[in-house]
């Protein structure tokens, strides 16, 4: 990991008490359905991925960056501009336009994107085109049979792929995408949702794949039970710690994730940092 990353990016080992991120919620559409995902576009009370107060256009997003960076306190804190939803960033053209606008106006801010990875291989040239700095791919299974329990459908090029067929394509594209990004010098992280009783046995397989593909860090996050997985109890803190500890023998673990909203702003440790200011 480069010094700039270590010091500046709170989700990649940078000082999370000093440096923060600004999420731009420009990406409402998604191309898969995860069993634990419920997206809301009007919620200021909930703080979790998939939630935003408002979906912004690329121009509104740039305006938001300008407003935030006018505040001297925020200017001290914000190092990263991230797009992480509320849907999948790569499934929304607005993501690319927003990054182009922000890169041009604020070349010193690190650009960061979080995706399910389905479109990574085909959209990778566009990410290289505007100089993406860091990438997160959420991989919850390596085995498509397990993936089929987590992803009810996958939509690619107008085709609906259900069950194992969809999961197989998704996993293949995630693997190809992580490898591409790491080989091109993009700092890459793999996020995995720990879903008790569903994907525990997959996690070491994901960790080994992430390491061999060139990812720098893994982030194992607890399930937030909702949607089709609403009845699954989330892992206890002790369970989560055990899984992180075990997998830290394979690849470094990021342990400070706040499972941010799509419009979060400020320090990742600050749970009140979501919502439009």
Q: Which positions lie near ligand CLF, rule CB under 6 A?
A: 11, 21, 23, 80, 82, 84, 112, 114, 136, 219, 257-260, 268
Residues contacting residue 32 through CB under 8 Å, at least 6 positions apart: 88, 116, 118, 151, 153, 154, 155, 166, 170
What is the rounded distance in angstroms from the CA atom of residue 115 to the CA atom of residue 117?
Answer: 5
Question: Under the criterion CB under 6 A, does residue 87 sit at the interface with ligand SF4?
Answer: yes
User: Position of tokens 């690319």?
Assistant: 96
Which part of the chain contacts ligand SF4 (CB under 6 A), choosing from 30-38, 161-169, 206-214, 264-272?
30-38
Q: Least distance in Å: CB of 158 to ligand CLF? A: 28
What is the rounded distance in angstroms from the CA atom of residue 104 to the CA atom of residue 60?
Answer: 15
21 binds, among ligand SF4, ligand CLF, none (CB under 5 to 8 A by kind): ligand CLF
CB 146 within 8 A of CB 193: no
Please report which residue ranges of the chain form alpha helices under DSSP H.
3-8, 58-70, 72-77, 93-105, 120-130, 144-150, 163-183, 203-213, 237-248
Question: Under the criterion CB under 6 A, does residue 116 sit at the interface with ligand SF4?
Answer: yes
Residue from the set 22, 32, 178, 221 that interacts with ligand SF4 by CB under 6 A: 32
30 binds, among ligand CLF, ligand SF4, none (CB under 5 to 8 A by kind): ligand SF4
Q: What is the DSSP letter of 114?
A: E
37 binds, among ligand CLF, ligand SF4, none (CB under 5 to 8 A by kind): ligand SF4
112 binds, among ligand SF4, ligand CLF, none (CB under 5 to 8 A by kind): ligand CLF
CB 208 within 8 A of CB 243: no
199-211-131-141 Cα dihedral, nearest 10 degrees: -10
Q: How far is CA 37 from the centre of its chain?
A: 13
Q: Least distance in Å: CB of 137 to ligand SF4? A: 10
Residue from the set 34, 109, 142, 210 that interacts with ligand SF4 by CB under 6 A: 34
Question: Under the criterion CB under 6 A, does residue 30 sit at the interface with ligand SF4?
Answer: yes
In the bound state with ligand CLF, the residue whose beta carbon lies nearer, of 84 and 167, is 84
Q: Can you read off the two tokens belonging to residue 208?
A: 């080994």
The binding site for ligand SF4 (CB under 6 A) comprises 30, 32-34, 37, 39, 50, 85, 87-88, 116
């Amino acid at each position: 990991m480069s010094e700039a990353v270590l010091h500046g990016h709170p989700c990649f080992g940078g000082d999370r008490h000093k440096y923060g991120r600004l999420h731009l919620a420009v990406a409402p559409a998604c191309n898969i359905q995860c069993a634990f995902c419920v997206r809301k576009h009007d919620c200021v009370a909930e703080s979790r991925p998939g939630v935003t107060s408002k979906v912004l256009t690329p121009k509104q997003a740039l305006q938001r960056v300008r407003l935030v960076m006018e505040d001297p306190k925020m200017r001290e804190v914000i190092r990263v501009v991230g797009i992480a939803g509320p849907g999948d960033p790569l499934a929304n053209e607005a993501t690319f336009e927003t990054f182009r606008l922000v890169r041009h106006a604020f070349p010193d801010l690190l650009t960061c994107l979080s995706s399910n990875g389905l479109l990574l291989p085909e959209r990778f040239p566009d990410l290289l085109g505007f100089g993406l700095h860091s990438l997160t791919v959420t991989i919850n299974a390596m085995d498509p049979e397990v993936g089929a329990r987590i992803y009810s459908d996958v939509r690619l090029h107008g085709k609906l792929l259900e069950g194992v067929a969809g999961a197989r394509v998704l996993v293949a594209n995630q693997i190809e995408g992580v490898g591409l990004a790491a080989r091109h010098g993009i700092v890459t992280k793999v996020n995995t949702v720990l879903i008790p009783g569903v994907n525990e046995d997959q996690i070491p397989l994901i960790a080994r794949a992430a390491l061999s593909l060139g990812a720098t860090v893994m982030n194992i996050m607890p399930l937030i039970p909702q949607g089709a997985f609403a009845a699954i109890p989330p892992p206890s803190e002790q369970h989560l710690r055990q899984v992180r500890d075990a997998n830290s023998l394979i690849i470094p673990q990021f342990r400070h994730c706040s499972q941010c909203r799509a419009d979060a702003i400020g320090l990742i440790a600050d749970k009140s940092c979501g919502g439009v200011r």
